[in-house]
């Protein structure tokens, strides 16, 4: 049985779905809710309501379930940072990770997978061409998410060496699709929602203005979940860190074209221009060690997401 922290959330629920499709039993840990999202409707999933910052509550789950692996996707960094609470939220964030590692050690699990992000590559001197996992990372980061993911990767590496645990980092690219949210770093979710509603896109949440030529390695969430499941269940992995993405850049212009094949005339134009270089992940390790291939290209993903929203789902 695989335990998934944050297993009722965006990427978590799709990862659980993919694990179930691979024939695995799952128990999910969620802090605030025990209600299954629509992508897991009717699934036989054990749900435990607990805060991973509470070590005893987390460890007690192992008394009730025979857990053989852990996928740690729960929110594990303070965002946004509030100066008055920064020390305590940092303590809680790192404490949660340490509690999960302790649980993995006590339960003797085969593998602990920990979510990281494409954002750890910000600051790499040469961002031209696909980014490999062995690229030297900068010790700084512009926002809290990659900061805490870098710390988590280094801490996980130390603990793996010290304990003998198989701890694997998943550097996840820009992910979009059902149950997602308005992302501050890319426009895809907002463009799809606007087309489905028949309204102009609200891009006020973006950290920077969006242009047609802007691009990023985007992965549809169903593919992201399946990639994580394949890494978790692989008999043997040859590396400690894996990129999870499409291995190519999807520009806003390409996405708009795909959306308009489903919603002709959607008023989602963006101004010309954009970044000269796009952040793209090299996914050779993922392919070689799991046989992973994306099942959703941009057109199929846009059509699937719009159909989901038109079926009455809000995100």
pLDDT at 90: 84
Report how far residue 281's alpha carbon sits from residue 171's, in angstroms, rounded to the nearest whole number.
Answer: 9
- Give the contacts of 43 (CB within 8 A, at least 6 positions apart): 16, 17, 20, 36
In this structure, the answer to whether residues 33 and 120 fall within a common structural domain is yes
DSSP per-residue string spanning 31-85: SS--PPPGGGTT---EEEE--TT-HHHHHHHHHHS---EEEE-S--S-SS--GGG
Q: Could you tell me the residue range of the domain that residue 201 belongs to? A: 180-218+248-282+296-310
pLDDT at 306 exceeding the cut of 80: yes
**Do the bridges between strand 215-216 and strand 167-172 make them parallel or antiparallel, or are there none, so unpaired?**
unpaired
- The pLDDT tens digits of the residues spanning 156-185 come to 999 999 999 999 999 999 999 999 988 889
In this structure, the answer to whether residues 15 and 87 fall within a common structural domain is yes
User: What total number of domains does the chain contain?
Assistant: 2
In this structure, the answer to whether residues 12 and 146 fall within a common structural domain is yes
In this structure, the answer to whether residues 11 and 114 fall within a common structural domain is yes
In this structure, the answer to whether residues 109 and 151 fall within a common structural domain is yes
**Average pLDDT estimate for 3-13:** 96
In this structure, the answer to whether residues 80 and 187 fall within a common structural domain is no
Report how far residue 98's alpha carbon sits from residue 95's, in angstroms, rounded to the nearest whole number.
Answer: 5
For residue 160, the domain's CATH number is 3.40.50.720
In-domain check, residue 152: yes
In this structure, the answer to whether residues 90 and 189 fall within a common structural domain is no
Asked if residue 135 lies in contact with residue 121, where contact means CB atoms within 8 angstroms, the answer is yes
In-domain check, residue 132: yes
In this structure, the answer to whether residues 271 and 150 fall within a common structural domain is no
Q: What is the model's pTM?
A: 0.95
Instruction: Identify the DSSP state of 290.
Output: H
How far is the CA of 26 from the CAs of 18, 67, 99, 100, in angstroms?
Answer: 10, 9, 19, 16
In this structure, the answer to whether residues 71 and 161 fall within a common structural domain is yes
pLDDT at 29: 95
Lowest mean pLDDT among 92-101, 228-237, 299-308: 92-101
**Average pLDDT estimate for 216-245:** 98
In-domain check, residue 95: yes
In-domain check, residue 25: yes
In-domain check, residue 290: no
In this structure, the answer to whether residues 94 and 25 fall within a common structural domain is yes
Please tell me whether the peptide bond between 80 and the residue prior to it is cis, using omega within 30 degrees of 0. Answer: yes
In this structure, the answer to whether residues 133 and 186 fall within a common structural domain is no
pLDDT at 78 exceeding the cut of 60: no
For residue 192, the domain's CATH number is 3.90.25
pLDDT at 218 exceeding the cut of 70: yes
In-domain check, residue 138: yes
In this structure, the answer to whether residues 59 and 160 fall within a common structural domain is yes
The DSSP bridge partners found for residue 28 are 4, 47
In-domain check, residue 48: yes
Report how far residue 75's alpha carbon sits from residue 55's, in angstroms, rounded to the nearest whole number.
Answer: 16
């Amino acid at each position: 049985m695989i335990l998934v922290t944050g297993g009722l959330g965006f990427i978590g629920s799709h990862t659980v779905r993919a694990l179930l499709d691979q024939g695995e039993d799952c128990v999910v840990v969620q802090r605030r809710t025990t209600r299954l999202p629509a992508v897991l409707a009717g699934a036989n999933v054990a749900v435990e309501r607990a805060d991973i910052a509470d070590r005893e509550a987390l460890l007690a789950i192992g008394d009730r379930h025979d857990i053989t692996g852990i996928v740690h996707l729960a929110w594990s960094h303070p965002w946004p940072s509030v100066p008055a609470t920064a020390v305590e939220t940092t303590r809680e964030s790192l404490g949660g990770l340490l509690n999960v590692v302790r649980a993995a050690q006590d339960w003797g699990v085969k593998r602990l997978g920990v979510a990281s992000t494409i954002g750890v590559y910000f600051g790499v001197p040469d961002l031209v061409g696909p980014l490999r996992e062995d690229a030297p990372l900068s010790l700084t980061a512009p926002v809290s998410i990659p900061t805490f993911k870098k710390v988590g990767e280094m801490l996980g590496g130390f603990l793996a060496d010290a304990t003998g645990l198989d701890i694997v980092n998943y550097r996840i690219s820009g992910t979009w699709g059902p149950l997602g949210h308005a992302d501050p770093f890319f426009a895809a979710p907002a463009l799809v929602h606007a087309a489905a509603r028949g309204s102009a896109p609200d891009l006020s949440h973006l950290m920077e203005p969006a242009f047609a030529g802007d691009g990023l390695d985007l992965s549809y969430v169903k593919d992201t979940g399946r990639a994580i499941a394949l890494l978790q269940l692989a008999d043997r992995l040859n590396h400690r860190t894996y990129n999870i993405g499409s291995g190519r850049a999807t520009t806003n212009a390409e996405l708009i074209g795909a959306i308009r094949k489903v919603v002709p005339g959607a008023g989602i134009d963006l101004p010309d221009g954009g970044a000269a270089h796009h952040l793209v992940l090299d996914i050779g390790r993922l392919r070689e060690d799991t046989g992973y291939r994306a099942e959703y290209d941009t057109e199929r993903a846009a059509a699937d997401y719009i159909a989901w929203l038109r079926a009455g789902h809000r995100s």
